[in-house]
Structures are given as C-alpha cells and as structure tokens.
C-alpha cells in the first residue's frame, strides 16, 4: 500500500482555493501511484477560523465539492479535513475518509482544545464517537489533532479493531531549546511511537506547515509501523508530498509476536471504568 | 533559555517572507538604530527578502547619537540593503519650541513617535511592510513607547528574550561591536535599559522566563534565589503595561462589537 501525506499550507477561509490545492495534490499523488492520500486537519478551510466557521461549513451529503472528491476517490482514496454542518447551525471540526466513490466515514473531533492559544470550543460543536470502519487497506480509525493527545481515544480505536490509525493535525510549534525542532514536536512523535507499538497498528500522522496569525504549524508528519518503528518523517518546515510504501503484512507479523491485541480485556476495562466514573464525586 | 540559532533563523525568515507575501508586499522597512534588536531584524530581513527589498531608516535626533549612526551605516553596508538617514531634530524641535518640556521621557516618547510617523509614511511611499523590533523582555515589561517604537506591521522578534536575541545575533554574524553594546532605548543621552530597569538583562530574562514561560508562582521564583523586590518590581511592570499590548477597550453596547465578539483571524482570507 502506498500512502501519501500532503503536508501543505491551506489558505485561511478560502474553500475554493483550497479545493484547487487539493486537486493539485491529488493529481501529483496519482502520478506517484499513491493509494491513500491524507490531508491535514481543516485542510479545506485553514485553522484559525473563529467567526468564519459558518461561512466555510460544508454539507458532505450534498455539496458539489464532495461530489467532485467522491468521484476522484474511485481512483485514489483520501482523507480530508473540513467544517461539517451536521445540523443547521452546529459546526464540527471533521475529517472524511473517501474511497471507491463513497464517504466511508466522517469523524467529528471530540477533544476540542480550548486553553492557551486554542479556542475551538468557542466555535465548534463536539463530536461524540470514536469508531472504526473497513477500508480497502484494513480496519481504520481516525482522530483529529488533540484527540490523539488523549490516549483513551487511541484505546477505543484499538479496542474497536484498528489496524491503521490516521491522525490529521494542525499542531503549532511551541518551545525552543538547542535542538533543531520545537519541544512540542516531541509530544506527537512520542505518542505515535507508543500508540503504534502498543496497538500493533500503523499510526499515520499528517500535520500542516505555514503560519496563521503568527502561529507556526510545525509539520513533521510521520508514519510508525505496528512494531513502533518510525518509517518516515516529513520536514518541520517545508510543504511536501511525503510518499511511503507500507507493508500491510506487518500488522499480522507483529501481532503474532506481540499478542497485545489478543490479550486485551475491554470488558474488564469497561466495567472498571463504569465503576470509576460512578464513584466520581460531584 | 538556550536556542538553536539556525532553527530560529529558519522560522523567523520564513515568517517574514510568508507574512509579506500574504499581505501583498515585496518590501520590508524598519527603523535601524545601530543597536542589537534592529540590527538582528535587519539581518533576518536581508536573509528573508532580497537585500534590495529591505529599506532601513536611520532616524537620529540631531547629532545626539553619531556613534550609533555610524554602526547603523556599517550594518546596511554589510547587508547591502537600502537605507535613508533622516534627522528628526527639525520636526521635534519645532514642536518643543512651541510646547517646551524638560521631561526626558516626554521628549523621548515624542521622538519615538516621530520615528513611527516617518516609518509609516515611508511604508506607504515604498509599499513596504514595517518590521517591528520589540523583543519579549520589552513587550512584557512595557519598556517601549506605545504608538512609537512598539508600532509595526509584523514583529519577528517579539517572542525572543533579549538574551536569546544575543544568541541569535552570534549565529547571524552580527558584528561583535554591536553585540557588546550596552542596550539603550536612546530616549536621551546616557540612558541605559539596565540602568533604568534596575537589573541586568540576564537576571530579568531568567525571572521572566520562570514567571511567564514556565508559569512558576512568584514564591517559587523567589525560592530560586532571586530577590523578592526584583521579582515584585518585574511583576508590577508587567501588570501596569498590559495596555501597551492590547487594542483599547471598546464600550460594549451592541450585540456584536469590535474587540469583543466580532472575531476574525488576522490572516482573514490569506
């Protein structure tokens, strides 16, 4: 399976222009024989939308933009990020997995960061589920950016049978040291390594680059294999289409040797969690 | 508080380049005093843009800072950027001859705003975006003139403490003479930042880093060995200068108000 990560910089609030950029990447990826092309979080709109959210919201079931992308997904599967108006006036930060002319799944971001420089809960409605779904490449689960920092979310995708975990992100760089990378890039790589290893699943993380309102998105998109090994990583600065061959047999090979999945006990976790939550004090 | 010079250079040159492109500018303009911050900004601009697209305005008050002017001229020559020297004494003197003041701060602020006014005028004449040169130490302590040297289109240096700018300057190859210069806002002759603020930049930056970046409570910073009076004073300076870091409050009356709940990104459609 050949995966492409479109680590690019969308234009803020300009869906038409961003669709053009998507089409360009889709063309490029098709030429390189990519099977699954992944765009970053809010790839069709840009990140710092604030009150622009309503102006850029899309309706995946009826929007001509999605008709176009669905058509293209007959030749190349893709994940895009967009603002999803699921019910009138309720806007979600969402990702859609398109393949074979269909939308296979829409994930609506559950963990909306609202602290420090983030203010997503002010503008977005909450998603409520982490679900897995079948794709031509295996059982897949999706998360968006801050979802991935909450390891319970990864656990749910693991328990639901993910073989491929896709994370799309708009993570700004924060914190300097003597290293040639932001301190914050380590957060994502650490999580990628741990979750891939202990879920024995591929973790594919696609971040963006460029500046918005002074925030610098720190790229560094990556793929870890089911054994927790870094397969590839993109630049921390540059726009690029990172293309990587993945051997899907790695999932079976790893799970034979490291039976974490077989030995998992979601029933006990569920019952314990219920008891824990019940005992929370008001 | 150590930084990687090459990494920060890469971020900031891209920032300058991208912001100019977004807002439709080819050229950048800055006020060059011959001090460290504006020199570092000029170096970054010359790397980010073609040197011929960077215009440095050297804006002395009469002959009060001839050594700094000489250093500034050396910088523009070294970088191959365009420059203009405009003496602000005629404009400032006319004003003070009508409205005399011996208060050095009042006089210094007037000069800072005269420079701002010329920068904005040349920004329009040259279609060049103004690059700010206020560093994080100054922004936090409010050590700058509101609508004066704090005014700019974009600020590449505002998240680096003074001591980090010194590290960046070494990496960029800023001449030692400028790096070793005693920092001065240049509001009057003999003024020094550290004299006026009462602490060395090294100490100020470390205290600010603990308080602001690491969000340490005051008592833990004092427990690290910093003097209570110094920590208190810096906190007071931060609190009393919030007005310099924000747009003024608008009296909220309508359902949707600029500065309250009319919320759009700076990079709207860019």
**Residue A190 pLDDT exceeds 80:** yes
Considering the domain architecture, whether residues B125 and B159 belong to the same structural domain is answered as yes
ipTM value for the complex: 0.93
Question: Hey, what are A190's tokens?
Answer: 């650490």
> A94, A106 in Cβ contact below 8 A?
yes
Rounded Cα distance, B136 and B190, in Å: 23
Considering the domain architecture, whether residues B32 and B127 belong to the same structural domain is answered as yes
* pLDDT tens per residue across span B224-247: 999 999 999 999 999 999 999 999
Q: Is residue B159 part of a domain?
A: yes
Q: Does A12 sit within 8 Å of B270, measured CB to CB? A: yes
Q: Is residue B256 part of a domain?
A: no
Q: How many CB atoms lie within 10 A of CB B256?
A: 10
Q: Which of B173, B143, B193 is nearest to B39 (CA)?
A: B173
Q: What is the pTM of this model?
A: 0.95
Q: Is residue B207 part of a domain?
A: yes
Q: Residue A77 to residues A40, A70, A95, B120: CA-CA distances in angstroms? A: 15, 9, 13, 50
In DSSP notation, A36-72 reads EEE--TTTTT-S--GGGHHHH-B-TTT-HHHHHHHHH
Considering the domain architecture, whether residues B109 and B234 belong to the same structural domain is answered as no
Q: A212: nearest CA in chain B?
A: B267
Average pLDDT of the residues in A85-114: 97
In DSSP notation, A133-201 reads EEETTEEEEEEEGGGGGSHHHHHHHHHTT-SEEEEE--PBP----SSSS-HHHHHHHHHHHHHHHHHTS
Rounded Cα distance, B27 and B20, in Å: 7
Task: Using a CB–CB cutoff of 8 Å, tell me whether A137 touches chain B.
Answer: no
Question: Hey, what are B180's tokens?
Answer: 């070793």
DSSP B248: P
SS3 of residue B35 by DSSP: coil
Q: What's the pLDDT score for residue A281?
A: 81
Instruction: Quote the mean pLDDT of chain B.
Output: 96
Residues of A in contact with B11 (CB under 8 A): 173, 216, 237
Rounded Cα distance, A280 and A66, in Å: 43
* pLDDT tens per residue across span B201-219: 999 999 999 999 999 999 9
Q: Chain-centre distance of CA B25, in angstroms?
A: 21
* pLDDT tens per residue across span A25-58: 999 999 999 999 999 999 999 999 999 999 999 9
SS3 of residue B108 by DSSP: helix
* pLDDT tens per residue across span A60-84: 999 999 999 999 999 999 999 999 9
Q: Is residue B116 part of a domain?
A: yes
Q: What's the pLDDT score for residue B270?
A: 82
Instruction: Quote the mean pLDDT of chain A.
Output: 97
Q: Provide the pLDDT confidence category of residue B86 given band limits of 50, 70 and 90.
A: very high
Considering the domain architecture, whether residues B177 and B231 belong to the same structural domain is answered as no
**Residue A282 pLDDT exceeds 80:** no
Strands A209-212 and A215-218, how do they pair? antiparallel
Q: How many CB atoms lie within 10 A of CB B194?
A: 16
CATH code of the domain containing B142: 3.40.50.620
Considering the domain architecture, whether residues B105 and B210 belong to the same structural domain is answered as no
What is the span of the domain harbouring residue B100?
5-193
DSSP A105: E
Residues 6+ apart with CB under 8 A from B40: B133, B157, B165, B168, B169, B172, B174
Q: Which of A103, A161, A101, A102 is nearest to A131 (CA)?
A: A161
Average pLDDT of the residues in A118-145: 98
Residues 6+ apart with CB under 8 A from A183: A174, A175, A176, A177
Q: Is residue B269 part of a domain?
A: no
Task: Using a CB–CB cutoff of 8 Å, tell me whether A214 touches chain B.
Answer: yes
∠ CA A10-A15-A18, nearest 5°, is 40
**A2-278 CATH pick, 3.30.360.10, 2.60.120.960, 3.60.110.10, 3.40.50.300:** 3.60.110.10
Range of weakest confidence among A162-171, A250-259, B37-46, B193-202: B193-202
Q: Is residue B267 part of a domain?
A: no
Q: What's the pLDDT score for residue A175?
A: 95
Considering the domain architecture, whether residues B93 and B155 belong to the same structural domain is answered as yes
SS3 of residue B85 by DSSP: strand
Q: Provide the pLDDT confidence category of residue B269 given band limits of 50, 70 and 90.
A: confident
Considering the domain architecture, whether residues B57 and B106 belong to the same structural domain is answered as yes
Q: Provide the pLDDT confidence category of residue B157 given band limits of 50, 70 and 90.
A: very high
Task: Using a CB–CB cutoff of 8 Å, tell me whether A282 touches chain B.
Answer: no
Considering the domain architecture, whether residues B181 and B203 belong to the same structural domain is answered as no
Q: Residue A239 to residues A83, A220, B14: CA-CA distances in angstroms? A: 22, 10, 12
Q: Which of A83, A144, A85, A139 is nearest to A111 (CA)?
A: A144
Q: What's the pLDDT score for residue B181?
A: 92
**Residue B147 pLDDT exceeds 80:** yes
Burial of B180 (C-beta count, 10 Å sphere; 0-12/13-18/19+): exposed
SS3 of residue A19 by DSSP: helix
**Residue B159 pLDDT exceeds 80:** yes
Residues of B in contact with A14 (CB under 8 A): 269
Between positions 18 and 37 of B, the ones with CB within 8 A of A are 18-19
Query: Among the three residues B193, B226, B259, which one is the final residue of a domain in this structure?
Result: B193
Q: What's the pLDDT score for residue B186?
A: 80
Task: Using a CB–CB cutoff of 8 Å, tell me whether A255 touches chain B.
Answer: no
Task: Considering only the beta carbons, identify the residue of B6, B264, B270 that sits closest to A50.
Answer: B264
Domain ranges for chain A: 2-278
∠ CA A275-A154-A43, nearest 5°, is 135
Considering the domain architecture, whether residues B108 and B33 belong to the same structural domain is answered as yes
Range of weakest confidence among A219-223, B78-82, B178-182: B178-182
Q: How many CA atoms lie within 13 A of B124 on its CB side?
A: 5
Q: Is residue B254 part of a domain?
A: no
Residues 6+ apart with CB under 8 A from A15: A44, A45, A56, A58, A65
Rounded Cα distance, B29 and B56, in Å: 6
Considering the domain architecture, whether residues B96 and B57 belong to the same structural domain is answered as yes
Considering the domain architecture, whether residues B137 and B173 belong to the same structural domain is answered as yes
Number of domains in chain B: 2
Task: Considering only the beta carbons, identify the residue of A51, A173, A176 that sits closest to B263.
Answer: A51
What is the Rg, in whole angstroms, of the alpha carbon atoms belonging to chain A? Answer: 18
Q: Which of B195, B194, B190 is nearest to B204 (CA)?
A: B194
Q: A215: nearest CA in chain B?
A: B15
Residue with the larger pLDDT of the pair B185 and B89: B89
Q: Is residue B93 part of a domain?
A: yes
Q: What's the pLDDT score for residue A168?
A: 98
Considering the domain architecture, whether residues B129 and B173 belong to the same structural domain is answered as yes
Task: Using a CB–CB cutoff of 8 Å, tell me whether A211 touches chain B.
Answer: yes
Q: Hey, which residues does A240 pair with through a beta bridge? A: A7
């Amino acid at each position: 399976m050949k995966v492409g990560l479109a680590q690019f910089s969308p234009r803020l609030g300009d869906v038409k222009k961003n669709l053009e950029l998507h089409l360009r990447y889709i063309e490029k990826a098709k030429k390189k024989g990519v099977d699954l092309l992944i765009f970053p979080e809010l790839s069709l709109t840009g990140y710092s939308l604030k009150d622009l959210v309503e102006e850029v919201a899309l309706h995946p079931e009826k929007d001509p933009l999605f008709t176009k992308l669905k058509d293209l997904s007959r030749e190349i599967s893709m994940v895009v990020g967009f603002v999803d108006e699921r019910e009138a006036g309720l806007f979600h930060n969402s990702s859609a997995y398109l393949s074979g002319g269909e939308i296979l799944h829409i994930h609506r971001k559950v963990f909306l960061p609202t602290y420090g420089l983030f203010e997503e809960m002010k503008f977005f409605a909450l998603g409520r589920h982490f679900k897995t779904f079948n794709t031509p490449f295996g059982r897949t689960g999706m998360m968006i950016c801050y979802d991935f920092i909450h390891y319970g979310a990864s656990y749910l995708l693991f328990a639901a049978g993910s073989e491929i975990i896709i994370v799309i992100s708009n993570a700004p760089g924060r914190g300097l040291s003597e290293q040639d990378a932001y301190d914050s890039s380590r957060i994502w790589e650490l999580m990628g390594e741990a979750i891939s290893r202990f879920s024995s699943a591929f973790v594919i993380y696609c971040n963006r680059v460029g500046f918005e309102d002074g925030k610098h998105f720190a790229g560094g998109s990556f793929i870890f294999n089911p054994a927790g090994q870094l397969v590839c990583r993109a630049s921390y600065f540059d726009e690029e289409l990172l293309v990587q061959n993945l051997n899907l047999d790695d999932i079976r090979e790893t799970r034979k040797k490291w039976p974490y999945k077989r030995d998992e006990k979601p029933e006990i976790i569920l019952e314990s969690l219920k008891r824990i939550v019940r005992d929370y004090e008001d | 508080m150590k930084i990687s010079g090459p990494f920060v250079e890469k971020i900031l040159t891209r920032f300058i380049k991208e912001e100019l492109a977004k807002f439709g500018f080819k050229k950048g303009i800055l006020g060059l005093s011959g001090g460290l911050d504006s020199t570092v900004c000029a170096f970054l601009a010359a790397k980010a843009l073609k040197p011929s697209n960077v215009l440095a305005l050297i804006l002395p008050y009469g002959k009060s800072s001839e050594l700094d002017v000489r250093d500034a001229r050396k910088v523009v020559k070294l970088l191959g950027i365009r420059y203009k020297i405009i003496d602000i004494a005629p404009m400032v003197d006319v004003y003070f001859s009508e409205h005399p003041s011996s208060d050095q701060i009042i006089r210094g602020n007037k000069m800072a705003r005269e420079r701002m006014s010329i920068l904005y005028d040349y920004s329009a004449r040259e279609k060049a975006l103004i690059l700010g040169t206020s560093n994080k130490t100054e922004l936090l302590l409010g050590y700058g003139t509101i609508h004066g040297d704090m005014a700019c289109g974009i600020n590449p240096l505002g998240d680096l403490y003074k001591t980090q700018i010194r590290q960046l300057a070494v990496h960029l190859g800023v001449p030692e003479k400028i790096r070793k210069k005693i920092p001065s806002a240049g509001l009057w002759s003999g003024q020094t930042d550290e004299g006026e603020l009462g602490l060395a930049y090294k100490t100020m930056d470390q205290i600010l880093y603990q308080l602001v970046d690491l969000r340490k409570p005051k008592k833990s910073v004092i427990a690290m060995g910093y003097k209570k009076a110094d920590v208190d004073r810096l906190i007071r300076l931060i609190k009393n200068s919030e007005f310099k870091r924000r747009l003024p409050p608008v009296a909220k009356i309508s359902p949707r108000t600029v500065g309250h709940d009319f919320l759009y990104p700076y990079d709207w459609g860019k």
